[in-house]
Amino acid sequence: MPPAAPATPAAPVPTPGALPDHVRVAVVGTGFAGLGAAITLTRDGVDHVVLERASDVGGTWRDNVYPGCRCDVPSHLYSFSFAPNPEWSETYSPQGEIWEYLRRTAAEHGVLDRVRFGHEVLELVWEDERQRWRVVTSRGTLTADVVLLGNGPLAEPAIPELPGLDRFAGTTFHSARWRTDHDLRGERVAVIGTGASAIQFVPAIQPDVAHLTLFQRTAPWVLPHTNRRITPLERAVYRRVPAAQRLVRGLVYWSRELFATALVRNSRFLERLERIGRRHLERQVADPDLRARLTPDYRPGCKRLLLSNDYYPSLQQPNVEVVTEKIVEVLPHAVFTADGTEHEVDTIIFGTGFRVADNPVAERVRGREGRTLAEVWGDGGARAYNGTAVTGFPNLFLLAGPNTGIGHTSLVVMIEAQLTYIRDALRVMDETGAATVEVRPTVLAAWSARVQRRAARTVWNSGGCASWYLDRDGRNVTIWPDHTFRFVRRTRRFDAARYELTAPVEQPPVAAATTGVVD
The per-residue pLDDT for range 71-125, each reduced to its tens digit, is: 999 999 999 999 999 999 999 999 999 999 999 999 999 999 999 999 999 999 9
Give the pLDDT score at 8. 43
Q: Does the structure show a pLDDT above 80 at 217?
A: yes
DSSP 32-71: HHHHHHHHHHHHTT--EEEEESSSSS-THHHH---TT-B-
What is the pTM (predicted TM-score) of this model? 0.92
The per-residue pLDDT for range 446-463, each reduced to its tens digit, is: 999 999 999 999 999 999
Mean pLDDT on 213-223: 97
Mean pLDDT on 126-143: 97
The per-residue pLDDT for range 13-59, each reduced to its tens digit, is: 444 578 999 999 999 999 999 999 999 999 999 999 999 999 999 99
Q: Does the structure show a pLDDT above 80 at 479?
A: yes
- CATH label, 165-226+254-350, candidates 2.40.50.140, 3.40.50.2300, 3.50.50.60, 3.40.50.300: 3.50.50.60
Mean pLDDT (the chain, rounded): 93
Cα–Cα distance for residue pair 416/400, rounded to 1 Å: 10
pLDDT band with cut points at 50, 70 and 90 for residue 510: low
The per-residue pLDDT for range 149-183, each reduced to its tens digit, is: 999 887 888 899 999 999 999 999 999 999 999 99
Beta bridge partners, 1, equal none
Cα–Cα distance for residue pair 124/492, rounded to 1 Å: 28
Of 93 and 468, the structure prediction assigns the larger pLDDT to: 93
Choice among 189-198, 278-287, 331-340, 350-359 with the minimum mean pLDDT: 350-359
Q: Does the structure show a pLDDT above 60 at 11?
A: no
Give the pLDDT score at 156. 87
CA distances in angstroms from 309 to 199, 229, 285, 306, 313, listed in the order given: 10, 15, 12, 10, 8
Cα–Cα distance for residue pair 508/490, rounded to 1 Å: 31
Mean pLDDT on 413-427: 98
Chain centre to alpha carbon of residue 71: 12
235: left (phi over 0), alpha (psi -120 to 50) or beta: alpha
**Cβ pair 188, 345 in contact under 8 A:** yes
